[in-house]
A = this chain, B = another copy of it.
Amino acid sequence: MQFLSDNAASVHPAVWEAMKAADAPDAPYDGDGVSQRLDDAFGEVFGRECAALWVATGTAANCLALSALVQPHGGVVCHREAHIEQDECGAPGFYLHGAKLMLAEGESAKLTPDTVRAVIDPIRDDVHQVQPHAVSITQASEYGCSYRPGEIAAIADLAKERGLGLHMDGARFANACAFLGGSAAEAASAVDALSFGFVKNGGMSAEAIIFFDRELADIARYRRKRAGHLQSKGRYLAAQLLAMLDKDLWLANARAANGAAQEVAGAAGDRLMHPVEANEIFLKCTPQERDAVRAQGFDFYDWGEGAARLVTAWNTPQDHAIKLAKAIASL
């Protein structure tokens, strides 16, 4: 029973269907009819005009988004545990041409205005130190916690005050939205660019970069091609995105994953290291306890010495979640 990650789950049937439906030849790159519908489709989701670019991975989405906000001599404030810092093999250094990641603290991998200030206020306003150009936050965070709209607004206010762009890594944005219950617009309020993830939520190979400023999108279009991310049969990526937006499949999938996570979390009690506000559960447990759980057929990652990470997906069977909950409860 799979609780390793949501990043290799099967593709949702509706996504398959939409890809097949896009099989007839059409204009290459993003000139096809499906790609051309993306701006409007995402505009409806966010209730404001936007430009939506498909891309194959979250790393590319994050870095292309940031490349439109950050000059090579600038920096990006992000959490010390952020994916862009920890898990992208230096991709931001590549895409931003050596710009610096400036590491901030924060509970459950969430930044706050205070932790951002703790990083940027001591920076001398001279040419000897890299100056921040943007802030990047992750919704839901690397520990599966969701920023409340007010929390984002506070960071956005600070960013605006300091002239910084605001990027949101939304690899699990759907799960955050499903958890928060409000609109997507609220969950991404005041953000300049959003990496909107679909691969972890039932897609195959398509993420969206959403720009709420068309000029930034126009920069990113060149950068996407330059990075080899402009696929010639782009219609198959656009089709994945539209399928996910159709009838809010993205929310339904995320709710399913979140539900399974809540099922598991309910049995975890004091073991929980972070509130479960998406589809990830971080659990205190000894190596022996991990062995005991694995012995019952569950796959998951160790999280350092005394903890485990469990991730549910859009298609985690309910009975798997129930069984896992029992296994944890009986530890």
Give chain A interface residues in 231-247, CB to chain B under 8 Å.
Answer: 231-233, 235-237
- Which one of A67-75, A153-161, A181-189, A256-264 contacts B? A67-75
Say whether A129 contacts B89, CB under 8 Å: yes
Point out the residues of chain B lying under 8 angstroms from A91, CB to CB. 225-228
Q: Using an 8 Å CB-CB cutoff, how does the interface string of A55-87 with B read, 1 for contact, 0 for none? A: 111111111100000011101000000000011
Q: Does A295 have its Cβ within 8 Å of any Cβ on chain B? A: no
Say whether B7 contacts A23, CB under 8 Å: no
Say whether A8 contacts B28, CB under 8 Å: yes
Say whether A10 contacts B28, CB under 8 Å: no
Point out the residues of chain B lying under 8 angstroms from A229, CB to CB. 56-57, 60, 228-229
Point out the residues of chain B lying under 8 angstroms from A95, CB to CB. 228
Say whether A228 contacts B127, CB under 8 Å: no
Say whether A88 contacts B5, CB under 8 Å: no
Q: How far is the CA of A63 from the CA of B94 in the complex (A)?
A: 13
Q: How far is the CA of A98 from the CA of B61 in the complex (A)?
A: 18
Q: Does A27 have its Cβ within 8 Å of any Cβ on chain B? A: yes
Q: Using an 8 Å CB-CB cutoff, how does the interface string of A158-202 with B read, 1 for contact, 0 for none? A: 000000000000000000000000000000000000000001100
- Which one of A104-112, A216-224, A273-281, A286-294 contacts B? A216-224
Say whether B86 contacts A222, CB under 8 Å: no
With A60-B229, A97-B98, A226-B73 already in contact, the answer to whether A88 and B128 are too (CB < 8 A) is yes
Q: How far is the CA of A233 from the CA of B32 in the complex (A)?
A: 24
Q: Using an 8 Å CB-CB cutoff, how does the interface string of A35-68 with B read, 1 for contact, 0 for none? A: 0000000000000000000011111111110000
Q: Using an 8 Å CB-CB cutoff, how does the interface string of A13-39 with B read, 1 for contact, 0 for none? A: 000100010011111110010000000
Q: Does A93 have its Cβ within 8 Å of any Cβ on chain B? A: yes
The residue of chain B having its C-beta at the shortest distance from the C-beta of A83 within the complex is: B128
Say whether B227 contacts A227, CB under 8 Å: yes
The residue of chain B having its C-beta at the shortest distance from the C-beta of A236 within the complex is: B204
Q: How far is the CA of A130 from the CA of B107 in the complex (A)?
A: 25
Q: Does A255 have its Cβ within 8 Å of any Cβ on chain B? A: no
Q: Does A131 have its Cβ within 8 Å of any Cβ on chain B? A: yes
Q: How far is the CA of A127 from the CA of B277 in the complex (A)?
A: 29
Q: Does A145 have its Cβ within 8 Å of any Cβ on chain B? A: no
Say whether B225 contacts A127, CB under 8 Å: yes
Q: How far is the CA of A185 from the CA of B131 in the complex (A)?
A: 34
Q: How far is the CA of A59 from the CA of B92 in the complex (A)?
A: 20
The residue of chain B having its C-beta at the shortest distance from the C-beta of A73 within the complex is: B222
With A57-B231, A88-B226 already in contact, the answer to whether A16 and B7 are too (CB < 8 A) is no
Which one of A91, A228, A230 has the greatest number of beta carbons of chain B within 10 Å? Answer: A228
Say whether A23 contacts B8, CB under 8 Å: no
Task: Other than A7-B232, A60-B228, A127-B230, give 5 A-B pairs with Cβ distance below 8 A.
Answer: A10-B24, A56-B56, A89-B225, A93-B226, A199-B231
Q: What would 19 A/B residue contacts be, using CB atoms closer than 8 Å?
A: A2-B25, A7-B233, A8-B27, A8-B235, A57-B228, A72-B72, A75-B90, A88-B226, A89-B130, A89-B225, A90-B99, A91-B227, A93-B98, A94-B97, A94-B98, A98-B98, A127-B221, A127-B224, A205-B205
